[in-house]
Amino acid sequence: MKALMRSDGVQVVLSWLLAAYLHVVLRTVRWRHESLDLIEPVLAGEGGAIGLMWHGRIPMCLSVAPQWWRRRTKILVSASADGEFIARALHLSRFGTIRGSSAKKGDSTKARQAVAAVRESVAWVSGGGCLVVTPDGPRGPNEVITQGALQIARRSGAPVYLMGMAASPSLRIRSAWDQAMLPLPFGRGVVVWEGPLHVPPDADDALIGRLQAAWSQQLSAATRRAEGLAVGPAH
């Protein structure tokens, strides 16, 4: 069954289905953006930037597409076979991708892929491109930022923006590691923007660790705020 799901034909079908769903969510959900003015200088400029959102909010990632479409933007997607149909769906949604993810200890092949992805990401952002990352993906722990996104920010010097997302009504896959939220059509959605945040170019491992914890807490707080606003009084 796993081999069938990863076959090229099935991957094409899955990518089309996901792309169609993402666009339905974008077009039918009434999206509200809080503190959107924070990102406007980046969107109106030419410098690179990094956006962070939790992996469980991928089903609503196009809620920020109208903003990131204004710039040259790529999305960092897992290099795994399971990430293939997501990457294809994003290409159908006018986003480029960089393939790579964190590697398990002892997996030298994926470790090399991860290093290559970081290098490609740094070059892209340093050259003025924007990059969207799910920093707890592709395997978690849920809502815990891994070092990769912070290393890209440190080496590129680019500002980082947090994007807390939620929609109501929605379905939650509680059994999934990322507890993915699936918006239903014709509901309400909210994106809470925060930033800019920076990683100093001379940041050592201790500081990187503290920023990981602080940014994880901040992105989760923005996500909880979005959840509260999405189910609150009509706006």
Rounded distance, CA 157 to CA 123, Å? 11
In a 13 Å sphere around the CA of 139, the CA atoms on its Cβ side amount to 8
Q: Please report, in tens digits, the pLDDT of each residue of the chain (235 residues total).
A: 455 456 677 888 989 999 999 999 999 999 999 999 999 999 999 999 999 999 999 999 999 999 999 999 999 998 776 788 899 999 999 999 999 766 555 666 667 878 899 999 999 999 999 999 999 978 889 999 999 999 999 999 999 999 999 999 999 999 999 999 999 999 999 999 999 999 999 999 999 999 999 999 999 999 999 999 999 764 4
CA-CA distance, 54 to 181, in Å (whole number)?
10
Structure tokens at 25: 């969510």
Q: Token pair for residue 107?
A: 């997996």
pTM reported for the whole predicted model: 0.92
Choices 3.20.20.150, 3.40.50.300, 3.40.1130.10, 3.90.420.10: CATH for 2-230 = 3.40.1130.10
Cα distances from 205 to residues 45, 154, 198, in angstroms, run 31, 11, 15
Measuring CA to CA, which residue among 2, 6, 33 is closest to residue 194? Answer: 33
Domain boundaries, the chain: 2-230
